[in-house]
Amino acid sequence: MIRIAMTKGRIQKQVTILLEQAGFDMTAVREMGRELVVTIPDDLEIIFGKANDVITFLEHGIVDIGFVGKDTLDENDFDDYYELLDLKVGQCIFALASYPDFLNKKFHSRKRIASKYPRITKNYFAQKQEDIEIIKLEGSVELGPVVGLADAIVDIVETGNTLSANGLEVIEKISDISTRMIVNKASFKFKKDKIIEMVERLENAQTN
Ligand code: PRP
């Protein structure tokens, strides 16, 4: 039995399609209601959780494989896993965003940066050797500059629609994001053949 944890929502939808293209029978996932654990043929069990919890399940050896966004992986301290595949779905970027005049503006104190991703924000500004104040928001981070709480944001940009609808724009791209397949190191040792087979099937699905 291989156990998989998958981020609920957008990633779940896209990875389900990819697993179908790889020949896995995902009927039970398509037909699921409010269940949180689903068994599919090929001796696979899938659990659905919040992004950070996918990493927690993998860290504690509850699951062998996790499907999770690079954003969540970068923000999390835990890095004792193998990243076996970039699924190339859920593609977007991390960016510094603000009003168009941001770069020409004079700041007399530390810039205030709102983000749902304080670790990524801290590392980005540390690289620039710039001391800033991070304001943690849980969502709709664009509100930071809009309500005057922050000078800029570090956030995910997909279509850019949320930024432009609020008068904001990308100031600088930070990194690329997409959904990754990660594997628990002990699982990889003991279930290597089945895991490699899944990677190969997914890779074939990506190229076809
Ligand atoms: C994300 C992100 C932006 C938006 C970007 O938020 O934080 O707000 O999507 O997408 P766009 O470039 O296509 O407009 P999400 O919808 O996941 O919800 P949240 O704001 O509550 O985090």
**Residues 39 and 137 both lie in one domain:** no
Which backbone phi and psi does 117 adopt, to 5 degrees? -125, 75
Select from 71, 158, 161 the residue to mutate for testing ligand 1; criterion: most ligand atoms less than 8 Å from CB: 158
**Residues 138 and 127 both lie in one domain:** yes
pLDDT at 207 over 90: no
Q: Whose CA is nearest to atom 22 of ligand 1?
A: 139
**Residues 104 and 60 both lie in one domain:** no
CA of 160 to the centre of ligand 1 (A): 9
CA of 79 to the centre of ligand 1 (A): 25
Domain at 7, CATH number: 3.40.190.10
Beta-carbon contacts of 182 under 8 Å, excluding residues fewer than 6 positions away, are 55, 58, 65, 66, 67, 68, 73, 81, 82, 83, 84
**Residues 50 and 61 both lie in one domain:** yes
**Residues 63 and 107 both lie in one domain:** no
Q: Whose CA is nearest to atom 7 of ligand 1?
A: 156
Residue 208: predicted pLDDT:
77
Torsion (CA) 148, 152, 157, 161 in degrees, nearest 10 = 40
Q: Whose CA is nearest to atom 21 of ligand 1?
A: 139
| Digit-coded pLDDT (tens) for 59-76 | 999 999 999 999 999 999
**Residues 28 and 80 both lie in one domain:** yes
Domain of 192 in residue numbering reads as: 2-90+178-207
Segment 124-133 mean pLDDT: 98
**Residues 109 and 160 both lie in one domain:** yes
| Digit-coded pLDDT (tens) for 41-55 | 989 999 999 999 999
**Residues 20 and 65 both lie in one domain:** yes
Q: Whose CA is nearest to atom 10 of ligand 1?
A: 158
**Residues 121 and 134 both lie in one domain:** yes
**Residues 46 and 57 both lie in one domain:** yes
Residues lining ligand 1, Cβ inside 6 A: 116, 139-142, 155-162
| Digit-coded pLDDT (tens) for 137-165 | 999 999 999 999 999 999 999 999 999 99
**Residues 148 and 106 both lie in one domain:** yes
Select from 11, 140, 143, 163 the residue to mutate for testing ligand 1; criterion: most ligand atoms less than 8 Å from CB: 140
CA of 114 to the centre of ligand 1 (A): 14
**Residues 74 and 96 both lie in one domain:** no
Segment 71-92 mean pLDDT: 96
Domains contained in the chain, number:
2
Segment 24-28 mean pLDDT: 97
Select from 162, 166, 169, 170 the residue to mutate for testing ligand 1; criterion: most ligand atoms less than 8 Å from CB: 162
